[in-house]
Amino acid sequence: MFDVISNFGYRDVVDIVIVAMIIYYILNIIEKTRTVYVLFGLAVLAGLYLLSQVGELFTLNWILGHFLGSIILIAVILFQNDIRRALITLGRNPLILRLTPGNSQEVLVDEIVKAASLLANRQIGALIALERKTNLSDFVEIGMRLDAWVSKELLISIFNPSSPLHDGGVIIGRNNKILSAGSFFPLAMDPDLERDLGTRHRAAIGLSRETDAIVIVVSEETGIISLAFQGNLIRGLDATSLTNSLLEMLELKKKKGSGLLSYILHRRERTH
């Protein structure tokens, strides 16, 4: 034991850290998915295999031995979707192992912007709220509960006019998952608001006043993309300005003089 400790060097530390990161990364990927139950099932089979060896249950031991002998091939077949998702995530940023499963915030912003742009081009209305520090569970309860990673395809299908959930808003949680669809937000009924603002825009302003959520709106009538934050509504955003604003507000990109957050701060300085 002392020989092992005396020969322990920085390479061993690097080795252990990398292996620990990989294990943590894998556990985060499979957390709260059906993969967990598959792993539990394999663990039960491994336990039965050990039991069959101890108890000299030769037939069971022979069957499980041949089954577990092909465990690598079985794992590839069972976990092919998870492996594909992990490799895609790693491929987007090969220098850093992402410690969160599924969508990172950069990927989240990219999917939202792509969905909003496509919906705007087709003049399909949309209302998307991003949860920040204020919990939006009260509004999640109003809608249809979901637990899905954000993708432009899913967002477009939710807001498709033929979808029963298209009239409400989508809530994306701090875990970068869609928590609910078809949720309804409090409406801003100020008389000084522009008269052409529809229900979606007033709901976006209302929610942004009561919470610190970031709310994206796509107008059904004009196809204009708007962004609401802290009771302020900025209209006429394109894909680039929407991306910059979201990255800035999520503190993924700090760029002076651009984005909605800079506009709001500048506006407050002028009013005080």
Q: What pLDDT is stored for residue 19 in this prediction?
A: 80
Query: Exposure of 139 by Cβ count < 10 A (0-12 exposed, 13-18 middle, 19+ buried)?
Result: buried
Q: What is the pairing mode between strands 126-130 and 169-172?
A: parallel
**Residue pair 186/174 in contact by the 8 Å Cβ criterion:** no
Tell whether the model's pLDDT for residue 81 goes beyond 70. no
Tell whether the model's pLDDT for residue 103 goes beyond 60. no
Q: How confident is the model at residue 102 (pLDDT cuts 50, 70, 90)?
A: very low
Separation CA 12–CA 1 (nearest Å)? 15
Longest dimension (CA), the chain: 83
Q: How confident is the model at residue 97 (pLDDT cuts 50, 70, 90)?
A: very low
Q: What is the mean pLDDT of the chain?
A: 78
For residue range 19-32, what is the model confidence (pLDDT) as tens digits? 887 777 666 655 55
Q: How confident is the model at residue 122 (pLDDT cuts 50, 70, 90)?
A: very high
Name the residue type at position 162.
S
Highest mean pLDDT among 62-76, 167-181, 258-272: 167-181
Query: Which string of DSSP letters, residue by residue, matches 234-258?
Result: EEEE-HHHHHHHHHHHTTS---TT-
Going from the N-terminus, what domains does the chain have, and what CATH number goes with each?
A: 2-92 (no CATH), 105-271 (3.40.1700.10)
